[in-house]
């Protein structure tokens, strides 16, 4: 998958400013800019938060069409299948992108927003319709992050990370206020976050539940139960999603043969890989590569 820095260069042809470290970027977007995201959507190892300010945007999210309008907040999580379908000519928005590794690993962010990790990485409904006053608050927060990114402030990186943490905590508060179910206990949250942190680095070599459960020092049955209770999805669903996205990424961007991709992704043979890919994407690897 593309890192945030690689994805940004592919979309825009250059870095947003000299010295950018590829960790966080926040900028204004419009119809022309947002269609560039189709070059990397579904293959970007970064979280994206888009607040619609004006007009509308239509997307295909995991096979479901969604239309976003003013005061809608759209959250993209790495590995999700997304295509920008259409946008109004007057579409305007604010978009914050945060590198996945930074979001899950940075000490400052981790310590401040532990409770905010969960709704972002498990969100089932990627669209949150906000009251106007809350939308204006988030807009101000995003503009503040954007302003700091384009300054030469000596402690810019630390300030931006703290502002990002506050932004996520504000989203956490919104989700808590609108959720009808009890929040999971901290132990379960920690286990799920641990699983999500293991997944990007290990899904290629380890396809089974046992590895992740062992790394977390719990049984596969308990890990399966925790993930399903918190997200409604299965452990294998997450693993397969990452495998499918990496496979489509390699088919689109590399010259590796299908057999070589199968070996790289640790499938037992090409036939098993082809069957898996067809089940996940609706067409064979060969047909997918031919069409793309």
Task: Tell me which residue range forms the domain holding 222.
Answer: 186-291
In this prediction, residue 71 carries a pLDDT of 95
- Rounded mean pLDDT, 71-86: 85
Alpha-carbon distances, residue 52 vs 32, 88, 110, 143, 203 (angstroms):
15, 12, 27, 13, 34
Q: Which CATH number does the domain housing residue 11 bear?
A: 2.60.120.280
Question: Do residues 21 and 124 both lie within one domain?
Answer: yes
pLDDT-above-90 percentage for the chain: 41
Question: Do residues 42 and 136 both lie within one domain?
Answer: yes
Rounded to an integer, what distance in angstroms lies between the CA atom of residue 175 and that of residue 49?
Answer: 14
Tokens standing for residue 33: 């800019």
* pLDDT tens digits along 128-175: 889 999 999 999 999 999 999 999 888 898 899 889 888 887 887 776
Residue 228 reports pLDDT greater than 60: yes
In this prediction, residue 104 carries a pLDDT of 64
pLDDT bucket at 268, cuts 50 / 70 / 90: very high
Q: Which residue has the higher pLDDT, 287 or 190?
A: 287
In this prediction, residue 108 carries a pLDDT of 52
* Residue 239 near residue 203 (C-beta atoms within 8 A): yes
Q: Give the predicted TM-score (pTM) of the model.
A: 0.67
Short-list 27, 33, 28, CA closest to 12: 33
Question: Do residues 258 and 285 both lie within one domain?
Answer: yes
In this prediction, residue 252 carries a pLDDT of 86
Question: Do residues 8 and 129 both lie within one domain?
Answer: yes
Residue 122 reports pLDDT greater than 90: no
* pLDDT tens digits along 20-38: 988 999 999 999 999 988 8
* pLDDT tens digits along 189-213: 778 888 888 888 899 999 999 999 9
Residue 124 reports pLDDT greater than 70: no
pLDDT bucket at 290, cuts 50 / 70 / 90: confident
Rounded to an integer, what distance in angstroms lies between the CA atom of residue 282 and that of residue 84?
Answer: 20
Question: Do residues 167 and 209 both lie within one domain?
Answer: no
Domain count, the chain: 2
Residue 65 reports pLDDT greater than 50: yes
């Amino acid at each position: 998958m593309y890192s945030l820095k690689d994805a940004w260069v592919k979309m825009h042809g250059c870095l947003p400013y000299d010295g950018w470290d590829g960790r966080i970027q926040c900028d204004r977007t419009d119809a022309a800019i947002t269609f560039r995201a189709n070059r990397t959507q579904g293959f970007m190892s970064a979280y994206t938060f888009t607040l619609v300010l004006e007009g509308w945007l239509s997307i295909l999210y995991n096979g479901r069409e969604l239309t976003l309008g003013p005061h809608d907040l759209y959250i993209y999580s790495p590995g999700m299948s997304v295509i920008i379908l259409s946008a109004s000519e007057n579409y305007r928005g604010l978009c914050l992108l945060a590198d996945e590794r930074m979001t899950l690993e940075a000490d400052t962010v981790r310590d401040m927003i532990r409770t905010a990790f969960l709704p972002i990485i498990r969100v089932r409904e990627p669209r949150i319709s906000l009251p106007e006053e809350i939308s204006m608050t988030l807009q101000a927060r995003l503009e503040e992050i954007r302003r700091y990114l384009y300054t030469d402030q000596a402690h810019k990186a630390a300030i931006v990370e703290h502002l990002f943490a506050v932004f996520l905590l504000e989203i956490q508060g919104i989700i808590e206020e609108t959720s009808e179910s009890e929040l999971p206990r901290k132990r379960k949250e920690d286990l799920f976050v641990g699983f999500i942190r293991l997944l990007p680095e290990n899904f290629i070599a380890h396809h089974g539940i046992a590895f992740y459960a062992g790394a977390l020092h719990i049984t596969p049955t308990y890990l399966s139960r925790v993930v399903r209770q918190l997200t409604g999805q299965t452990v294998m669903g997450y693993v397969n999603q990452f495998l499918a996205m990496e496979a489509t990424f390699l088919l689109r961007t590399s010259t590796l043969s299908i057999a070589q991709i199968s070996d790289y992704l640790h499938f037992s043979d090409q036939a098993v890989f082809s069957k898996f890919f067809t089940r996940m994407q609706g067409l064979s690897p060969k047909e997918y590569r031919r069409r793309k």
